[in-house]
Structure 1
Amino acid sequence: MKSIKIFFLATVAIVAGLFTACSDDDFKAGPEVDGAQVYFPENVTTQHSISDDVSSIAIPVKRIAKDEALTVAVLASDESGLFTIPSSVSFAAGKETSELLITFDRTKLEDGKEYPLSFLINDEDNTTPYGNRSLDIIVAPWPWVKLGTGKFRDDYLCSMFNGGNPEIEVTIHEHKSKKGIYMIEEMYGWPFLTEFFKGSQEEIESQVKLTYTPVNITIDCSDPTKVVMPRQFTGIIDGDPAYGNYEIAMSTGGEGTLVNGVITFPQEALAFVCGAGSLKANKSGLFRILLPGAELTDYTLSAVYDGMKVSADGETASAVIDFTYGADVTNIRYVLVENELTEAETATLVAAIADGSAENINELQDFTVGGEKVSAEAVLPGPGTYTVVALPLDKAQKPVSGEASAASFYFPGIGGTSVPNDIAGSLYKVSAYPDAAAYVSKYPDYSSAVYEITGTEMKKIKTYFNKTSIIDNIEIQTGGLTLQDVVDKYGKELNADAMEELATTGKYWDIMINLTPGASYTLVVEATNNYGKKKLIVCEPFVTDIPPYTGELIIGKYGMSYAASAEDTFENVFEVIPTVGSNTEFFVKDFAVEDGTQWYATYDSAKSTLTMSGVQLGREDNGNLLGKFTEALTPNQTRGYGIFSFATEESEGSDPIVLTIDPASKQVSALTTDVEVPVADFTVNKIVGALAAYYADGTTITKQSGTTSAASAAKVQGVRTKIPFSSVRVPAHIGKSLDSRGLQMNATFVRNSDNTNHGVRTLSVKTAKCEPLPKQIGRRADFKIRENLPVLK
């Protein structure tokens, strides 16, 4: 059996301990004890969860001297007054064990409430200092009603380990007084773990180093449309204290649903949390709990516009709507309305279709249950934007609101044609853009940029703005997302006022502020025109200015080289960039690896040094990142690298990087610490090569011409698998996490305006079933009615 932790470099460090023996002179005997030596055992249960049929609790009491019969007095404390507790406990001759029997009326105890009880053996002649004379317990009436056996399919633990999505049977309870609150017995217990790891409990404990403490998981389904998974301990404990207890949690806004007895959550709405940090869970959206008696059904539905059909006489034109539906859908009800609907308007219309109050509800004729796709055509009033909102019907012919689908489209009508998608985008310096003249003094070119979008007949514009190094390596930065995926997930949509300005003047512009000086940025624009055509464009990179600088340290680009052997040389171009208003604080960009990273650095003129502490721009909260694997090399993030700095042979790789400054020329002249950039393969838990190595003895640094950053994208050199130096000196216990860069920019937009809403008017149309047509104009992707899901932070 083999299982690998995904996002940490698993290592083992063995520490030798020293043990000393005590001499006989150190030993001191305890006091002698007479009497029966009565005591409460160490392993007595202190937490009692009682079911409805329980009316008594037996507390074990033991003694050492057992020859004669004995009765000892017991004092008790009961704040509630609901428990009957004997004032003594008796032992039969020859018996070492007896019990204190506590009785109560279960109907008088409140479900979910805790009742504390305390006991004291009140007989000093027959107690012992070596045993417990007192005992505190909690009695808690069991607030759950057993529903029966359900099923649980996981998509949580595979965020941490390479494993599948096993489905197991589980016992499920519902809260007596709080309907919709469910408890799953030992959801992540050994039946699940042995199935997940395909091994025995002994193998899991010895090889994977996991143990399990029995824990029940609760889920709040009191609102079936917003199911909540509270953050809670799963019972799984990692043998590595850096990971510790495994917890399951839900991201903000990541509520799930309970539909027909099936509990599900959206993709990445759950989180894996441990001592080392957190990971997004439910990445495949497969996490599912089936309540007892639940029947799996497929009521999925997708509605999309699939072109225009013109009658044979050329007099009328119909919109063709394609419906793709699940195997259990018995029919489809839908409504067509003018204009594109807001999320709130769509939700209102879904509810009206569900309760039958919406006007002009259509239902398909001759519907085939168990099919996959059906098309319908609708005669519309004329050219314009329309929205179709559709609900599937379940086996009881009732609408399923949770599976509603909506799609907006542009209908050209007879004689209508599409137009070229002439979208364009550009980035400018604030000082070079005439319309931004009033903002030049407030938003300087070293921390600001103007973006301009031009185009005609546009219905929707989305923008995504980030550093060029991130956009050019988007799949690696995001773990496999394409640029289109990133725009869909993180793109900012222009509001109604901005779109009106674009329609009126042919362009829209705004200023982005709080940018990094000397950094390269790229703007991505996705445009959808009035005819449903989409286009994604990537604008030319733009480099912000270097801030004004009057200090003595020579800024700009430096070339660094280290000849590891006659055949193998490492070369690097890094850049020293000043900060605003300071002659001692700088940024060093692309040091050792040209990946766009900027490190904070401090210049000390007295010592003639420039020191990088290990803090990166944009990652200040993470502290010193030297000596850690922080960058991904592959889209699936199975490989990563980090910069390690060694000041001494005993170093662990996290020492500050110190550059020497020539006192005469004030240029960077040498490296005083050894720097290595190892590459780790997290699937095999070892270092497989290096990107670079620069040692103080032998590294040369020379000033290059030019003082500004290049507009070209940052690059990462290839991995050297046959590294010429002896070894990468990475201690086994560091470099555990791979923390990829965030995608969302901190740029602030200067110009703001409010969104506007449009009224909803349903359309009376004649519909008929028809075969799908060849696409005549572009289609717009459909969307589900669901909550907006922010990224877990």
Structure 2
Amino acid sequence: MKNIKSILLTGLTLLAGASFVSCTEEEFQPGPEASGVQVFFPEATQTDYSVDDNTTFVTIPVKRVNTEGEYTVSVLPDFTQDGNASEEVNKLFTVPESVVFADGEGEASIKVSFKRAEMVEGSTYVVKLLLNDPENTTPYGLSQIELTLTPWPWEYLGVGKYRDDWFTGMWTAGNVEVEVPVYENKSTKGLYMIENMYGWDFLTEFFGGTQEEIVGKGYVKSYTPTNITIDCTDPTAVLIPLQPTGIEDGSSNNLGILYIESFEPGVLEEGIITFPTSQIFLGNAEYYGLMANGNGLFRIVLPGYEVTDYSLAAEYSGMRVASDNETASAVIDFTYGADVAGITYLFAAGDVTSSVDSYIAAITDGTAENTSTLENLAESDGTATVSAEAALQAGRYTLIAVPSDASGAFQAEDAAVCVFYFPGMSGGTIPECDIKVAMYPVSEYEDAAEDASEYPDYSSLVYEITGSEISDLKMAFLPTSTLNSALWLDFTLEEVLASVGSDMSEVLADLNSGTPVWDIFAGLDAATSYTLIASATNDYGKSATVSCELTTGEVPYDGTLVTGPYMMTCTIPEGSSDGSDFVSQNLFRISPKPDSQTSFVVSDLGFENGLSWNAVYDETAGTLTLDGTFPGQEDRGSFFGGYVTNDNISATALATYADGSEAMDDPVVFKVNASGEVESLNTNIEVVLALIVEGSVSPLGAVGVFYTEGTTVEPYRTGAETSAVSSLSVSPMSGFMFNGTADMFLRHVSVAEPAGLYQARSADRLATVATTGSKCAPLPKDATHRFSVKANATHVQAPLK
């Protein structure tokens, strides 16, 4: 094959030279005339071989042009191992001294035999063959050939299973599971190879159609057989190196060959490989793409292992009254996995979650009293539900249940716990959840008086939580403008809390003792409104969601730059999707940094979402410049041109570029007039809004454009006190504009999340008291199903880099 490359290169060189002398009238001179037998190696001969354990020879074809008579040509071999020749290497190979063509035959072969068992794993062997008869070879064919033989480094383990949550990141299809051949590296234990992991067996199952229905129809352009390697040498830090999958993207993204790579390590446990949610990259080699494994269902089951599902969840579903109208029973719904054959359970008075392990141990060793058992549970492909009831007196109870397999063996690690209040026949009023939250300036909260000097009111605040008999508590703290943008997108308080909330079970002991729980949030932006949301459930199953708002103080400042809120407006003629003028308006705020006349923070730029950016004022140049970094996180670099989020619900990207620039992350420069007021924009800004769906970014479109031509900037004044930016705007933007350019050129794959604020006193809290919610959810289950190629396998546009 090296000879072929040399011949082509020579031809190109001669052609280039001919272009300089093409004006001459010299006659064409033909090449040398071939004569004799004209024996040669075909140019299409395979030269690279991966040699498995059972292969001991390869056959190389030899051809001739003149087939008249019997002909014998001698063969001269040469052998090397990793570029070195030796007698030991020569002994590994056997090559005939000559090859014989029968009369009338135009093709023969050379059998290159070798001792496979003696070849060294990881070495490369080169065999050169020369047809030693210059008078009967041909200048138009190969008289010598070079073979490369590499011992196949993989040992076949058997058939495993792959469940997809990678490719489905681009499509609205299910998490299909297919069988795959699995190999392990002979010299590196724990390094696995999955043969054709994304081959036609997978693709036809995924799309629910034939190969002909898929290729070239907007799904897949082509598939090249490709094996995927997974590094499990450290079972606690499993890696998928960046590598092609063999799939050529046929969707509108036109990403080319799709690549896969793990961004966060996975684990190998009991023969099952898994990865964290939304931590597997899907895109091209230039890192244009998205984060897949949005459901956390990516899974490889190695040969010899099987997935068992002993998951169990228990939920108090209500009270059943007997026909005598005197007896009441608590009804419990059990949801159990496919391999659960029995459930043994008991009730304990009160909340015993702090000692639940003792109850589980008593059930498994048979010493527990008053147990009940559900046996011969119905088999199912996924999960099933069964109900049980027990006559109880009014009061609070803890249910402890342990599943068992078909042999009766308990699966204690899958035990379920449910704490509930049972009203009984006596009824009575169930206490409502009395959770309350409040926030205060640090200087005004008596218990924080000693902290006021360290945590000034312009960058800190105190929150306080009160309540009684609380069994579950979650809390979220975020800029009010971030919350407003989520509510504007029709998300609820509960959905925001689920996205960014923190489990506060560690404070329940103090809270339920009657002591108000308080702490300080520090590292906040000045003159900015913040909202605290809390959701709680009490011991009686009653829940409540509450919130409160507070604005941080102003930083003392006597500089020349006019700070506070600014209104930025840009009108784009016929820029809306319906052809009408598109007016982009943005209310942002400039706040000084403490003890500085030149360093500032700009918040809500382009879109009112609570994000803040560093800014530097140059009074001499009359400019205010933002470099794209977050306050306190300058080492992370610029985030202009990439998606950022404050709430894990939506993400925005500011594509910033100077006139004539091809970048999407140029610094943003504002012009400041002689009065110290920001008056114009020197950098174009396009704002793209996206939703974060199961860990992946789904762009909605451009929501604001602010071009250097046509954008006005002026201080925003209402004639009244304007303490919070969030209170000045009805909505975070004017509307959608889909003909912006930035949404096709964004550079960041993953969504960045600022992390500037922190809880100042969290280390002073008391030790955690374990609690369990009123419902124990079962493990995630695979809802696999087939989709029609033409109807249901709908493409989801992937965000680009």
Maintained 8 Å contact 1:528/1:535? yes
Amino acid of the structure 2 residue aligned with 1:581? D
1:712 aligns with 2:727: yes
In the TM superposition, residue 424 of structure 1 has moved relative to its aligned partner by 0.8
Rounded Cα–Cα distance in structure 2 between residues aligned with 1:672 and 1:515: 29
User: Does 2:251 match 1:236?
Assistant: no
User: What amino acid is aligned across from residue 676 of structure 2 in structure 1?
Assistant: K
Which of 33, 50, 53 aligns to 2:52? It is 50
Give yes or no for the alignment of 1:493 onto 2:503: yes
Aligned twin of 1:191: 201
Q: Give CA deviations for 1:175-231 in whole Å, capped at 9, x if unaligned.
A: 99999998653121133234545574696468557543323456799999x996755
1:216, 1:276 → 2: CA distance? 20
Kept in 1: contact 2:49–2:148 (CA 8 A) = no
Instruction: Summarize the alignment of residues 376-395 of structure 1 with structure 2, pairs less than 5 Å apart.
Output: 376-377=389-390, 386-391=398-403, 393-395=404-406
1: CA distance, partners of 2:644 / 2:466: 39
Distance 1:341 1:266 in 2: 34
Equivalent residue for 1:463? 475
Determine whether 1:581 maps to 2:592.
no
1:176 and 1:530 mapped to 2: Cα distance? 57
Distance in 2 of aligned mates of 1:754 and 1:700: 47
Match runs of 1:515-534 below 5 Å: 515-534=524-543
Aligned to 1:767: none
Find the counterpart in structure 2 of residue 789 from structure 1: none
- Aligned-residue offset at 1:388: 1.4
Flag structure 1 segments of 5+ consecutive residues without an equivalent.
1-19, 761-777, 787-793
The 5-angstrom pairing of residues 47-196 of structure 1 reads 47-51=49-53, 54-58=54-58, 60=60, 69-77=72-80, 84-86=92-94, 89-93=97-101, 98-104=109-115, 106=117, 113-121=121-129, 134-140=146-152, 142-147=154-159, 152-166=162-176, 168=178, 170-171=180-181, 184-196=194-206
Which of residues 257, 260, 270 is equivalent to 1:247?
Answer: 260
Q: Which residue of 1 aligns with 2:4?
A: none
Hey, what does 1:24 align to over in structure 2? 18
TM-score under structure 2 normalisation? 0.72
Listed as ranges, the gaps of 5+ residues in structure 2 are 1-13, 23-28, 83-87, 574-579, 781-801
2-structure distance, mates of 1:270, 1:700:
40
Q: Is the 8 A contact 1:116 1:139 kept in 2?
A: yes
Distance 1:601 1:241, change over 3 A: farther
Counterparts of 2:447 and 2:648, CA distance in 1: 42
Change in 2 beyond 3 A, CA 1:597/1:633: closer
Residue aligned with 1:658, SS: strand
Partner of 1:598: 612
**Number of aligned pairs?**
720
Q: Would you say 1:302 and 2:304 are equivalent positions?
A: no
- Matches of 1:557 and 1:178 in 2, distance apart? 61
The one-letter amino acid of 1:377's match is: A
Following superposition, the deviation at residue 739 of structure 1 comes to: 5.9
Contact map agreement 2:395 2:422 (CA 8 A) in 1 = yes
Shift of 1:159: 0.7
CA positional deviation for 1:454: 1.2
Q: Are the aligned partners of 1:532 and 1:779 in contact in 2 as well (CA < 8 Å)?
A: no
Check whether the contact 2:191–2:231 (CA below 8 A) recurs between aligned residues.
yes
Counterpart CA distance in 1 for 2:322 and 2:158 is 62
CA distance 1:152–1:754, shift in 2 (3 Å): same
Contact preservation (8 Å) 2:74, 2:133: no
Distance 1:574 1:247 in 2: 39
Find the aligned partners of 1:318 and 1:221 in 2 and give their Cα distance. 51
Please give the alpha-carbon distance, in whole angstroms, between the structure 2 residues aligned to 1:752 and 1:339: 30
For the structure 1 residues 520 and 96, does the alpha-carbon distance in structure 2 shift closer, same or farther, using more than 3 Å as the test? farther
Instruction: Give distance in 1, aligned partners of 2:479 and 2:743.
Output: 33
**Equivalent in the alignment of 1:431:** 443
Distance 1:431 1:599 in 2: 27
Q: Secondary structure at the match of 1:541?
A: strand
What is the CA distance between 1:139 and its match in structure 2?
A: 0.8
- Asked if 1:453 is matched to 2:468, the reply is no
Alignment of structure 1 residues 341-380 onto 2, 5 Å: 353=363, 356=365, 359-360=368-369, 362-364=371-373, 369=378, 372-377=385-390
What's 1:790 paired with? Answer: none
SS at match of 1:323: strand
What's the secondary structure of 1:159's corresponding residue?
helix
Q: Which amino acid aligns with 1:712?
A: S
Specify the SS of the correspondent of 1:372: strand
Q: CA deviation at 1:24?
A: 0.8
Percent identity reads 28
Q: Does the residue aligned with 1:322 lie in a helix, a strand or coil?
A: strand
Secondary structure at the counterpart of residue 627 of structure 2 = strand
- Summarize the Cα distance change of 1:186–1:350 in structure 2 as closer, same or farther, 3 Å threshold: farther
Tell me the distance in 1 between the aligned counterparts of 2:30 and 2:397.
91
Alpha-carbon distance in 2 for matches of 1:439, 1:602:
30
In the alignment, residue 589 of structure 1 is paired with which amino acid? Answer: S
Q: Separation in 2 of the partners of 1:227 and 1:332?
A: 35
1:171 deviation in Å? 4.7
Q: Deviations over 1:500-543 (max 9, x none)?
A: 433445301111222233333221222233334332222x2222
The alpha-carbon deviation at position 441 of structure 1 amounts to 1.6
Compute the RMSD of aligned alpha carbons: 5.5
1:64–1:85 distance in 2 versus 1, CA, 3 Å: same
- What secondary structure is seen at the aligned counterpart in 2 of 1:523? strand
Structure 2 Cα separation of the partners of residues 516 and 83 of structure 1:
76
The answer as to whether partners of 1:306 and 1:779 remain within 8 angstroms in 2 is: no
Which whole-Å CA distance do the structure 1 matches of 2:275 and 2:537 have between them? 27
Contact 1:66 1:95 in 2 (8 A): yes
Change (3 A) 1:666 1:626: same
CA distance in 1 between counterparts of 2:743 and 2:186 reads 51
Distance 1:57 1:647 in 2: 64
Q: For residues 748-780 of structure 1, what are the alpha-carbon distances to aligned partners after superposition, in whole Å with 9 as ceiling and x for unaligned?
A: 3423257758899xxxxxxxxxxxxxxxxx981
Residue 782 (structure 1) aligned to one of 772, 776, 784: 776
Which position in structure 2 is the counterpart of 1:669? Answer: 679
Which AA in structure 1 matches 2:555? P
Which residue in the other structure is 2:556 paired with?
Answer: 548
Say if 1:426 and 1:690 are closer, same or farther in 2 by CA, change over 3 A.
closer
- Contact residue 618 and residue 624 of structure 2 kept, 8 A: yes
TM-score by length of 1: 0.72
Whether the 8 Å contact between 2:74 and 2:98 is mirrored in structure 1 is yes
Selected match of 1:696 from 700, 709, 713: 709
> In the aligned structure 2, how far is the partner of 1:400 from the partner of 1:548?
62
| Alpha-carbon distance in 1 for matches of 2:257, 2:747 | 14
Q: CA shift at 1:55, angstroms?
A: 4.7
CA distance, structure 2, for counterparts of residue 142 and residue 174 of structure 1: 5
**Deviation string, structure 1 residues 345-368 (Cα, Å, up to 9, x no partner):** 7678667755x4663483426766
**585-594 vs 85-94, which deviates more?**
85-94
